[in-house]
Amino acid sequence: MQDNLEWIRNNKTNKSTAFTKDEKKTLGLEGLFPYQTSSQELQISRVLQNLERKPNNIEKYLYLSALQARNERLFYRVINEHIDELMPIIYTPTVGEACKSFSHVYTEAKGFYITPEHKGRILDILNNWPSKNIKVIVVTDGERILGLGDLGANGMGISIGKLVLYSACGGIDPSACLPVMIDVGTNNEELIHDPLYLGVPERRISGAAYLELLDEFMEAVTQKYPGVLIQFEDFLTPNAFALLKRYQFKYRCFNDDIQGTAAVALAGVICSTRITHLPLTENRFLFLGGGSAATGIADLLVNSLVLNGLSKENALERIYICDIHGLMTTDRTDLQPHNLPYAKSSPASTFLETIQHFKPTVLIGATGAGGAFTQEVIEAMSAINSRPVIFALSNPTSKAECTAEQAYTWSKGQAIFVSGSPFANVVYEGKTFDPGQGNNAYIFPGLGLGIVAGGIEHVNDELLITAAECLANLVENHDLDLGALYPPIQEIRSVSLAIAKAVMLKAVQQGLSSIDPSTIDQRIQEELYDPRY
């Protein structure tokens, strides 16, 4: 007979106060709980009341994390039914604070850690993970967590958080999800000298040693879990591009910072054309920031513009990129390979000068530098455009290029604003604006669900564009009237299912999936996790 306490210790079987009298008797749990039996609905009410008592968001995050560890189904039922208010708690911006303090607030084992000491043994130690049917892995090496930089092993909070969203928004069974930290050290001296830091307290390995460890990891997980989807998260830009190029067509994988961010931004841009009435191919795009997110968006924009009729040369002409040194030009010697297609032969100029010369219709910030969009910048965009499109995508909130209130105030209510982190509604001269959040959660859970359910071989740009177009088509006119370029976050589960279906259909058309299109709905339903008791 199973140890009676195992029903309580196992977060997948524990129902806590929802065990009925008959279940308590049958399972040997009599006397272990109070008299009353609570419905799951009543338990949800209790959880929400307890959340209200918490003094700040990090305490709410820790409370929910503890709930997940002891009663997984209740955790996901709460998240599913209150995603609009809890998304900022379980992910950005609170997850950034949780990562910074990860080693200091660590309580229970969640996720899988691989270090250089495991080289040559990764396949063997994967046997230590209890679940054998892994379908989705989110992996990071912690070197560029959000806009916070190198957090080393503390970055595990990102992998954990992303997979929570895979289950809550995309319906992937939590037992089929594996968060992974490739802990190759950290160059953050503060962490190295922190006695409570839980990661490898040495400087990062790089070069051949780094790639050999990643190669072994990719081979081991695909051997251990055939068909697994691997999502790369928060790698430093050069590594992010190098690893994507190395693995994209060899394994079932994608990089969310490059490709997920690109798809959600493209969806927002497509939606903005319904307000500006300017066709996508007639827009001009200026980026501030030349990292993985910005270049990923630019690359996907180019391919979308080409699909909409422009030559690649003309598409590239419509995209300018500035960084901390100003406009990226062909005479600069400090550009990364992924930046070179966007380098212009124009004279060197500052960010503001580039706005005045190039006259962009869409401004996209992916800098990790809070306040980079100054009043002068927003006013310059507003002088050029009757409805300037402003994307301040850096997160957490403290890293946003400008706030929603600043964008609306400085543009005199004309800006079409999107941010990476959530902002509250803004009232300007009697009009209420509901700023949209360009949250990758609109894309990656549905994309991942489609890849898993459809057995899609690899992720190419046409699949990402399909996901973006699907998302854009789900935005209603009344959302646009409020300035929102994305559907309400509480609709994200249905959004994910629609994206999964669209991606699967496109993959079949491209020969990337061999499934019968008539089985798509059934295949999606078979993957969906139900957290109800």
Quote the radius of gyration of the chain (alpha carbons, Å). 23
Joined together, the tokens standing for residue 231 give 């999502």
Helix 261-276 to helix 461-473 angle, to the nearest 10 degrees? Answer: 40
Is position 442 annotated as part of the catalytic site? no
Helix 156-170 to helix 72-81 angle, to the nearest 10 degrees? Answer: 70
Rounded distance between C-alpha atoms, residue 36 and residue 17, angstroms = 7
* Of 135, 162, 344, 506, catalytic: 162
Rounded distance between C-alpha atoms, residue 315 and residue 305, angstroms = 6
* Of 15, 61, 76, 91, catalytic: 91
Q: Taking the mean position of all CA atoms in its chain, how far away is CA 372?
A: 22
Rounded distance between C-alpha atoms, residue 497 and residue 109, angstroms = 31
Closest CA to 517 of 461, 454, 459: 454
3-state secondary structure of 448: helix
Q: Output DSSP code: residue 328.
A: -
Helix 72-81 to helix 57-70 angle, to the nearest 10 degrees? Answer: 130
Q: Are 423 and 439 in contact (CB under 8 A)?
A: no
- Given the structure tokens 């054998």, which residue do they identify? 132
Cβ-based neighbours of 38, under 8 Å, separated by 6 or more: 16, 17, 18, 46
Q: Are 182 and 213 in contact (CB under 8 A)?
A: yes
Q: How many residues does the chain have?
A: 533
Q: Are 484 and 494 in contact (CB under 8 A)?
A: no
Buried b (16+ CB within 10 A) or exposed e, 426-455: bebeeeebbbbbbbbbbbbbbbbbbbbbbe
Is position 91 annotated as part of the catalytic site? yes
Closest CA to 422 of 41, 37, 96: 96
Give the residue numbers annotated as catalytic, written as ranges. 91, 162
